[in-house]
Amino acid sequence: MTIWEKMQKVDRRILYAILVVCVCVGLFFPTTIPTDPDPSSKSFYAEVMKLEKGSTVIIQTDWTNSTRGESMGHFENLMRLMMHGDHKFVFYSAADPAAPQVARTVLARIVAERKGQGLREYKVGEDYIDLGFFPNAEATNTTMGSNLRSVWANRKSKTPTGGEVDVWQTPVLKDVKNIGDVDMMIVVTASASIDVAIQRLAQKVPITAMVTGVTGPGVLPFYQSGQVKGLAIGLKGVYDVEYMMVNGINDVEVEGKKVVEWDKVGKVDRVNEGTTFSRGRAYYGTLHVALVLLILAVVMGNVAMFASRRRKGDAV
């Protein structure tokens, strides 16, 4: 067997092992890679940052640990942006019963992180509400559009003192009568639940989204048509948002040049408190390592195939 034939028959387990080693090594060296965020990510950041302080936001969180690599970074960024803007928010899932618990875990971690940094501690029942799970996204979103009070009726929220209160009596929702009273709806999803939300609610409330790389291409047409006001896609979207949290848009300058430029908006502030670069930065460099490995494997496999074919041709 020639070297070319051996290269084409490398045991897949060896490739897996190389991938695991490279990824693990990459994780020890988080790198800030200069980037030009995607226009959809810029729109997302600009839309969220232009919300007035203390706005009310609905967050539909439809991801679980199966897409933790992308969606957790999205959700962490979103929580930091919400808390930076002092926004009040409700979160629920209309896709997966496990999703609210996953969101609760991340939220608790971000609250603790900010508390440790000396920033204001977000409190359940006062600053945010955990609505839990709603089965059937179609029915849930349809009813939210026609009668928000009925779809969330009988839901209780915990209070900072450990008691329970009807969600409609909390400071978060007491002034909300219908979906039009909400300033923005943000869908963090790994599935087509974003389509369902757009179909039923896009004409009643501005929608932005944070989606996985698999879901992203299907949602981009909704961004192009303006049905979704902003869209962060996949790990690149996580990194884009973190990058803009650090540099803003048309804000931070290096050597007389804006780090992130965009002629569609004026200056959008950076986030000047708490954690900004986080999971996106930790994973984005490692993603490059994995992609280089993939490209190398494809190139080497093809070179080996052509070389062995040529040798066979010579032999004939």
How far is Cα 316 from Cα 310, in angstroms, rounded to an integer?
10
- Using CB under 8 A as the binding rule, the residues of this chain from 32 to 61 that contact another protein are none
Q: Is 163 in the site for another protein (CB under 8 A)?
A: yes
Binding window for another protein (CB under 8 A); candidates: 45-53, 75-83, 110-118, 196-204: 196-204
Residues 65-124 that bind another protein (CB under 8 A): 66-70, 72, 97-98, 100-101
Class of residue 291 by CB neighbours under 10 A (exposed 0-12, middle 13-18, buried 19+): exposed
Q: State the minimum distance, in angstroms, from the CB of residue 12 to another protein.
A: 8
Q: What is the Cα–Cα distance from 219 to 201, expressed in whole angstroms?
A: 15
For another protein, which is the closer residue by CB, 7 or 165?
165
Question: Is position 216 an interface residue for another protein (rule: CB under 8 A)?
Answer: yes
Q: Residue 274 interacts with another protein (CB under 8 A)?
A: no
Among 146, 203, 272, 302, binds another protein (CB under 8 A): 203
* Alpha carbon distance 82, 208 (integer Å): 13
- Residue 134 found at the interface with another protein (CB under 8 A): yes
Within a 10 A sphere around the Cβ of 4, how many other Cβ atoms?
18
Q: Cα separation of 112 and 118, whole Å?
A: 10
Closest-CA residue to 107 (of 136, 72, 151)? 72
Asked if residue 133 binds another protein (CB under 8 A), the reply is yes
**Residue from 7, 18, 119, 165 in contact with another protein (CB under 8 A):** 165
Among 164, 273, 310, 312, binds another protein (CB under 8 A): 164
Rounded to 5 degrees, φ, ψ at 162 are 100, -5
Query: If you search the block for the tokens 């609505």, which residue do you land on?
Result: 131
Comparison of 17 and 309: residue with beta carbon closer to another protein = 17
Residue 162 binds another protein, judged by CB under 8 A: no
One of 33, 108, 112, 291 touching another protein (CB under 8 A)? 291
Return the range that interacts with another protein (CB under 8 A); candidates 51-59, 114-122, 173-181, 207-215.
Answer: 207-215
- Long-range Cβ pairs for the range 51-54 (8 Å, 24+): 51/85, 51/87, 51/183, 51/184, 52/183, 53/85, 53/86, 53/87, 54/85, 54/86, 54/87, 54/88
Q: Does 301 bind another protein (CB under 8 A)?
A: no
Residue 13 or 53: which CB sits closer to another protein?
A: 13
Does 24 bind another protein (CB under 8 A)? Our answer is yes
